Amino acid sequence: MPLGANISLTATAGGATATERTSYVKINIARLAPARPDQQFSQAGSAVHLQESLPVSVRRLEAKDIEQVVAIEKEAFSPLWVSSPFKRDLNNKRASYLVACFDDEVSPEEILAEIDADQPEDRRPPALWSRVLGRIGFSSKVETEPENGAFDIAGYVSVWYQADEAHITEIAVKESLRSRGIGELLLIGSLEAAIEYGSKVMTLEARVSNFIAHRMYQKYNFKSVGIRKAYYSDNREDAVIMTTVPINTDEYHELFTSLQSTYQERWGRMCIDH
């Protein structure tokens, strides 16, 4: 499978495709079929919910996406974080901005409503209270919907190219949509773009406390190579610097192809166009 190829696979559940707008939010795979051993579960109170995939695809950033991307950036990093120059760099050949966007046929608002309904009340985010605190400066969390309340961007990744290195400067997913494969899909898209660009290695920073992210990066052969002290402005947390083994080799191609296949099997679809 060529690394830069456009891939589009869609899983079905009970005969209904995951991209049919009228039926997606009514599909709960956990209720329709017994779980396979490799499927991931999360414990929420006394109920066990299957982490099902979402109908999202990865494509290049467009000007219309910037408002939503900036909101996700502030939610993930901090209102004090120095924002990436998304608009200025739309046509920058040394930068690559990718977004995970919902399919046209689905309603992200309905999906979020179902996700929220599946959460116990004590675990639902207090949206109004968070918004108030954020506006007066006591919280780093902000609402990720634009002013009109509509959205179709689930996450984004920004990559800068310098010499033989591709550097992921930011990767973030809307908080309410995490743990559903979106971050890994963005990572796969950024690696594909870097390999296509001709980069030899990829590097990034991650919070030292973000062990879930560490494990995902390690799976794609990122190694810890150093620490950046007080890197994050919201709490001055250190960042671990992670760099891949060479990504332009046959050995990495074989690993990367295998990981993409595993991703498709786990989430049922992988659609990337960069």
Looking at 73, 170, 184, 205, which residue is catalytic? 205
* The predicted structure's pLDDT at residue 114: 67
Alpha-carbon distance of 41 to 117, in angstroms, equals 17
Alpha-carbon distance of 127 to 10, in angstroms, equals 32
- What is the 3-state composition of the chain as percent helix, strand, coil, each rounded to the nearest 5? 35, 25, 45
Q: Could you read off the pLDDT of 216-270 as tens digits, one per residue? A: 999 999 999 999 999 988 889 999 999 999 999 999 999 999 999 999 999 999 9
- Mean pLDDT of the region 201-221: 97
Q: Mean pLDDT of all residues in the chain?
A: 76
Q: Are 171 and 183 in contact (CB under 8 A)?
A: yes
Looking at 217, 220, 252, 263, which residue is catalytic? 217
Q: What is the reported pTM?
A: 0.72
Identity of the residue numbered 176 = S
C-beta neighbour count of 69 within 10 angstroms:
23
- Judge whether 217 counts as a catalytic residue: yes
Q: Could you read off the pLDDT of 135-162 as tens digits, one per residue? A: 333 344 444 455 555 679 999 999 999 9
Sign, CA torsion 256/258/260/266 = negative
User: pLDDT band for position 3 (50/70/90)?
Assistant: very low
DSSP letter at 246?
A: P
pLDDT of residue 18 exceeding 50, the answer is: no
Higher model confidence: residue 47 or residue 242?
242
- Judge whether 205 counts as a catalytic residue: yes
Residue 58, CA atoms < 13 Å, CB-side half-sphere: 33
Cα–Cα nearest to 115, from 129, 101, 125: 125
122, burial (CB in 10 Å: exposed 0-12, middle 13-18, buried 19+): exposed
DSSP result, 185-237: HHHHHHHHHHHHHT-SEEEEEEETT-HHHHHHHHHTTEEEEEEETT--TTT--
* Check whether domain 12-273 has CATH 2.60.40.2310, yes or no: no
